Amino acid sequence: MSKPTGINPKLTVLVIIGLLLAAALTGCVPRAPHEQLVAAIKKVNDLEYQEMAAKASMSLQSDNAENQKIYELISKISFEVVLKLDKKDHRYFLAFDLLYKGVNCGNLALYCDTEKITAQSVFFGPKTFCFEWKDLQRLAQDYLGLQVQITDYLPLLFETDQKTRKQVEKALYDFYADYFRDKITAGNKRVELSVIENDQEKSITCQELIMQMDNDDFSPEEIGRFLQGILGNSAVRSLIKEKITQFITIAKNNGDLATWPVTEEELIAFRDNIDTQIDHFQALLASTAVQAGTAAVETSFTEMNGKIRIDKKGLWRNMLTTQTMAYTVPYTGEKIEYKMTIEQNLVNPGQKPAFPEYLPGEVINVGQTSSVEWEAIAEEISTNIFTQLLFNPLFQDIAQLGQENGL
């Protein structure tokens, strides 16, 4: 008699079990929305090269007609921020622009690497100010009588034992996943989003997550839980202690510690007592939150709504959040509604950022500038600030509003 043909039930079951095990081991099991968010944040944080652009705007409304004029002016202010990180070569850039009615009315650009930090602003004038870390040694010696070889300590910022770093990251990401568990839900599965990749604008399809937080999520108890999750984390505290130990070792070996008004024993005692110090700081923050919450519990309302778009690679590409606060001013009874909207975009993911290059003639080296040169620089900065006060649209409207109110 011939054997029956067709699907073998036992084999089918074994195949299904094998596929499920493979999916579980490779992370193919669908994640919950809050887990997707944390995974997307981690994936972006793991990139060696990061570039992000953010915009923020706010709106203030009041039932007090006199104050509403001030709030209308504030509501016309917005901010733009660009952040660039090169973790491989330790180069960082932050640009902050203040806009009023869409016009740039102020800026600050900071660039930092292992050799120097630079600052540029319209209030400083056309020049860029630079400070080289190596000059800190001479300044500390001249003004404080201390030896501080700052370049010896920079590795503390950039280098962390891989095992320790992984422990801290896992602890924090696990906490974030638990914290956002009931705050994140799934949104549209297919959302078209315009992004920048390789310096070119393109359209991609993303999955959307929805964030919803209300008054309870901003309660003193919830704030305390968040602080405990970060500051009370044993892995975080171990990392802090490890960094302090490394700091003491460097200062002792390079001779800096011998010139400081503190002993090695005192620094070690501080390290050993760091848990108590952090507990005190955490309790102070929690107490402040409780006092603020108790004072406003009957007269305020806060909510935050957001959308997070995640691409097919698992990277978050866009975050849009709106926070609304309604508040009644004690004693006056004035009702105020404040709303802030922040949009963040991940730009050129994984691509090495382009950093500003400064020509020698355009840079003032702060650490090597004489007192005579500083007098001329101070005069130039004063002139620039005065010019801004005269012609800057924001300052003009502030002055006009002050005149209308008799100030």
pLDDT for 292 equals 62
Helix extents (H) in 232-263: 234-253
pLDDT for 13 equals 47
Burial class (CB in 10 A: 0-12, 13-18, 19+), 396: middle
Q: Is residue 378 part of a domain?
A: no
CA distance linking residue 19 with residue 39, whole number of Å: 23
Only one residue has tokens 């603020």, namely: 292
Q: Is residue 391 part of a domain?
A: no
Q: Is residue 304 part of a domain?
A: yes
Q: Is residue 388 part of a domain?
A: no
CA distances from 380 to 195, 374, 376 (A): 41, 10, 6
| Chain Cα centroid distance, residue 171 | 19
Q: Is residue 203 part of a domain?
A: yes
Full pLDDT tens readout for the chain, 407 residues? 444 444 455 454 444 444 444 444 444 456 799 999 999 999 999 999 999 999 999 999 998 888 888 999 999 999 999 999 999 999 999 999 999 999 999 999 999 999 999 999 998 888 899 999 999 988 889 889 999 999 999 889 888 888 888 888 888 898 889 889 999 999 888 899 999 888 889 999 999 999 999 888 877 778 788 888 888 888 899 999 999 999 999 999 999 999 999 999 999 999 999 999 999 988 888 777 666 655 554 557 789 999 999 999 999 999 999 999 888 887 788 889 999 999 999 999 989 999 988 877 778 998 888 888 888 888 988 998 888 888 899 999 998 888 877 65
Residue numbers of the domain that contains 299: 31-369
User: Are the CB atoms for 210 and 310 separated by under 8 Å?
Assistant: no
Count structural domains, the chain. Answer: 1
Q: Is residue 211 part of a domain?
A: yes
Tokens encoding 258: 């011998």
Q: Is residue 43 part of a domain?
A: yes
Of all helices (H) and strands (E), which one includes residue 179?
Answer: helix 162-179
User: Are the CB atoms for 235 and 171 separated by under 8 Å?
Assistant: yes
CA distances from 310 to 189, 197, 204, 378 (A): 10, 15, 10, 48
Q: Is residue 289 part of a domain?
A: yes
| Chain Cα centroid distance, residue 69 | 32
pLDDT for 10 equals 47
Tokens encoding 368: 């090597």
Q: At what angle do helices 234-253 and 162-179 cross, to 10 degrees?
A: 150
Closest to 85 (Cα-Cα) out of 115, 113, 121, 54: 113
SS3 percent helix, strand, coil of the chain, rounded to 5, is: 45, 30, 25
